[in-house]
Amino acid sequence: MKSNWKVLLALVLIVGVSYLAMNSVLPRSYSGSALNFGIGSGTVTVTNPSTESIPAQLVGKTRSFRVSSAIEGLSGAPTREGSGTSATYVMEFALPPGETEFSITRGSNVSFVTTTETRLEATVLPASVSSARTTVVVAAVVVLGSLFYISHTTGHRWIKILRRQETSVPVLKPVPVSAVAGQGQGYRPYGDNRTKQ
């Protein structure tokens, strides 16, 4: 009974780690007007379908951050507003028409904020390439280790089941077919069958 609880905990660990890994690696999509969403340490792509620039902000609620982008006015550090624990870090910029790409190179808990009525499309990669790779590797190690633990705890029953399935497959032997359809001995094609005079 105790081993069943251990197996159940290992299964819960597999599900939890897999969910966290997928949630921190898979891209997220946002669309609409007056967007306000969190940004991780990956790349953010925002599409402005209008022909005019739109005012936007990057807001950090806990500490300063740095932004990297090829768009003018969208690189560097934000400005601190307020003091003490209520201080926020804000970077205001004009979101140009078309596609804009940027990433948070340092810091966390940063949000992208707009108040425009224009419908925007945004895609966020929560983690950088190196962070995503590390997350996937760690998750794979934990999942494989948990699967081995479950297999060891259950006495590797799945191997025995596979072996039984392999040995239980019947081997069909060919049935010999006789060339003689009637009774008696068949015609012999060798030698001289003529009666001697």
Pairing state of beta strands 66-69 and 98-106? antiparallel
- CA distances (Å), 5 to each of 2, 97, 159, in order? 5, 57, 21
Residue 149 domain flag: no
Output the six-digit token pair for 71: 């768009």
Tally of domains in the chain: 1
Higher-confidence residue: 105 or 25?
105
Higher-confidence residue: 15 or 61?
15
Residue 183 domain flag: no
Residue 81 domain flag: yes
What pLDDT shows up at residue 47?
94
Range of the domain at 118: 27-131
Residue 111 domain flag: yes
SS3 category, 87: coil
Taking the C-alpha atoms of residue 127 and residue 133, their distance in angstroms, rounded to an integer, is 9
Q: What mean pLDDT is predicted for residues 95-117?
A: 89
What pLDDT shows up at residue 150?
80
